[in-house]
Amino acid sequence: MVTMRLLITLIMLATAQLFLNMAHASPHAPINANHHKVDNPTAASEDQRRKRRPVKASPAKKTPVKVISGKKVKESSPKKSRLTSVQKFKLKKRDSLKTASAEREKLVYKRRYGRHRGNPVEETEELTYGAAAPLKLSKAHRARYQKARETAMNKLMGQLGKPYQWGGTSPETGFDCSGLVWYAYKDLVKFKIPRTANEMYHLRDAANIKRGELEKGDLVFFRINGRGTADHVGVYLGNGKFIQSPRTGKDIQVSALSDDYWQRHYIGARRMMTPKTIR
């Protein structure tokens, strides 16, 4: 009986051992994923390693920079060629303006007038009028200008002692203040001279002159009656003197601009005769 039990037990153990050996040898044996992970904690698939691998950012491409006229400007690229062309045009225009301005400051312009225009450049002499830039005159044109100014002065001085005449414009009838100026300059300048002192004071063709810049032949204006207009005019002779036809009952005379009366009523001066305005 005992022998039979031992035999059965051995048979059962042998059978169990056989099934275990068959299970290990089978190619379709299931794999326990959890057991695999526990046995290999550091193992990872190739895809997982790729996902965990850090991606290096590609460095930004730097646009080449060049210097134009002291300023840094990005060089043109195919996509921005139009914008860069506009920038280049503006920079080129600005540079050309600066160059032209610098050249103008260095240049001495030689101007020619009347019959001398187009002739070979003659020797010139510089004249300055008020706040205007220096003007270069040829000797011939300067001589014409001086002759015209002397002619005006001679016409004025030839009327000394003649009586004042309201509305007068000739030596035969006499002169009022503006009539005397009109008579002296009417044939010597290119533009039409107005008839009244206030119109002469606002004449666009006559340059505004500061008192400290007065020259022989400049018109000096006064406000006698306080009506807000220039109602009296004379011609400056130099050395603080001017010639005028004052009022009814007075003769044409030379007066001092420094007298208190004329200083109180003085309002300004205009230059009617210049090298540009003479005929």
Q: Active-site residues: which are they?
A: 177, 232, 244
Distance of CA 215 to the CA centre of its chain: 33
Element (H, E) at 93: helix 81-106
Burial 233-260 (b: 16+ CB within 10 A, else e): bbbbbeeeebbbbbeeeeebeebebeee
Region class of 108: left (phi > 0), else alpha (psi between -120 and 50), else beta:
beta
Question: What dihedral do alpha carbons 112, 113, 116, 119 form, nearest 10°?
Answer: 30
Please give the backbone phi and psi of residue 72, each rounded to the nearest 5 degrees, phi first: -80, 130
